[in-house]
Amino acid sequence: MEKLSNRILALAESETLVMAQKAREFKERGVDIISLSLGEPDFKTPKHICEAAKQAIDEGKYFTYPPVAGYTDLREAIAEKLRRDNNLDWAYQNIVVSTGAKQSIANVFLSLLNPGDEVIILAPYWVTYSEIVKLAEGVPVFVKGNLNNNYKATADQIADAITSKTRMMIFSSPSNPTGSVFTEEELRQIADVLKDKNILVISDEIYEYINFTGKKFSIGSIPEMKEKTITVNGFSKGFAMTGWRVGYIAAPLYIAKACNKMQGQITSATNSIAQRAALAALKSDFGPTKEMAAAYLKRRDLAYDLLNEIPGVKNYKPAGAFYFFPDFSSYFGKSAGDRKISNSGDLVMYFLEEAHVSSVSGDAFGSPENIRLSYAASEAEIVEAIRRIKEALAKLS
């Protein structure tokens, strides 16, 4: 008899991966699907990073188990990067390299949460945050920003959500799914709420290099927040290294040691060759990263203008990452023939089947009025995808 654990039964499947699989199934049937669902750069990993990986293979000395927390020279390079770019002064011992930022976040929650501990999640949020909290037997508490503030929760909202059970808070900036960037002033206001409380913060900065504001600020650089903040980052987005699976945390030593212990019993170290590629990414030319960011900015402006031409769509201009998160709720309750659109889940399936464009329902991100559209696609694909969406919406009445 098949029997699964309560743990896995309570866990939701990643909606972004579900939609990606549905899009693949349509493509396998010969349907011309334009994918705006996955948060994956459409650029190839820069050549010099790939060459470093090839060299590491040829050297023939990276075929044994690496240290669980990562090679020392990579951790030192990460520490140097954090000092230079983020005003975060950590030694390499405070760095733990993991198989992607997702594992980094899982390590932290599994190491720090006890059953019933509450975690404030600033919403809209990345789909995996809430599920990992639940996996660690914590309780997600959602604090939702509104469109007037580009979906950024405020310090006052956070203060109102704190209880005697609050253990942690997590947010991303630049944000997945909204593309919003918290300003230094906003983060200082949040720090003022948290600095005297026994609450730890996970600052997910994976989209750091896709930031169109010209400014970046890490909450962990505020002196009162240093020992309270776990900074999460990685190589997937800024260096187009999604498949290499390298992420990391920078944290107080007791947290780093706990995550090292946790990781040692689950996956052990990150792939050795991927680590050598990551070292090359940090130690060499950032030109390709800057070129990718410039291309994303151009695509953002293109998509913004096109989305604004669609009647009834409430939109805003994201300041980073590569997502739009428009409000499509004005189309809820409308129909096309026998097909009724009751919510964003219905609408994304309508887009997939009618417009042949894959997207992700806002339900997965804690905001059911919205749909996430990734513009990590070519300009031609963006133009055609939004044309199809606009045409499909025009059929609803």
Whether the Cβ atoms of residue 137 and residue 158 lie closer than 8 Å to each other: no
pLDDT for 380: 96
Whether the Cβ atoms of residue 119 and residue 140 lie closer than 8 Å to each other: yes
Q: CA–CA separation, 58 vs 54, rounded Å?
A: 6
- Using DSSP, state whether 128 is helix, strand or coil: helix
Give 169's DSSP letter.
Answer: E
Ramachandran quadrant class, 268 (left: phi over 0; alpha: psi -120 to 50; beta: rest): left
Residue 350 token pair: 């309508």
DSSP state string for 341-367: --SHHHHHHHIIIII-EE-EEGGGGT-
List of E strands, the chain = 34-35, 95-98, 118-123, 139-144, 166-172, 200-204, 229-234, 247-250, 323-324, 335-336, 339-340, 357-358, 360-361, 371-374
Whether the Cβ atoms of residue 344 and residue 331 lie closer than 8 Å to each other: no
Q: CA–CA separation, 198 vs 127, rounded Å?
A: 26
Residues in the chain with pLDDT < 70?
A: 1
State which amino acid sits at residue 272.
S
Residue 237 token pair: 């987005």
pLDDT for 1: 61
Whether the Cβ atoms of residue 123 and residue 153 lie closer than 8 Å to each other: yes
- The four Cα atoms 368, 370, 375, 381 give a dihedral, to 10 degrees, of 100
Task: Name residue 383's beta-bridge partners.
Answer: none
- Using DSSP, state whether 290 is helix, strand or coil: helix
Closest CA to 393 of 363, 371, 368, 362: 371
129's enclosing H/E stretch is helix 127-135
Whether the Cβ atoms of residue 270 and residue 346 lie closer than 8 Å to each other: no
pLDDT for 132: 97
Q: Which domains does the chain have, with CATH numbers?
A: 6-44+288-394 (3.90.1150.10), 61-283 (3.40.640.10)
- List CB contacts of 156: < 8 A, sequence separation 6 or more: none
Cβ atoms within 10 Å, residue 155:
17
Whether the Cβ atoms of residue 112 and residue 177 lie closer than 8 Å to each other: no
Q: CA–CA separation, 277 vs 70, rounded Å?
A: 13
State which amino acid sits at residue 307.
L
Whether the Cβ atoms of residue 233 and residue 73 lie closer than 8 Å to each other: no
CA-to-CA separations, 324 to 99, 182, 193, in angstroms, rounded? 27, 16, 29
pLDDT for 87: 97
pLDDT for 285: 86
Question: Radius of gyration (Cα) for the chain, nearest Å?
Answer: 21
- Using DSSP, state whether 327 is helix, strand or coil: strand
Closest CA to 252 of 272, 268, 231, 274: 231
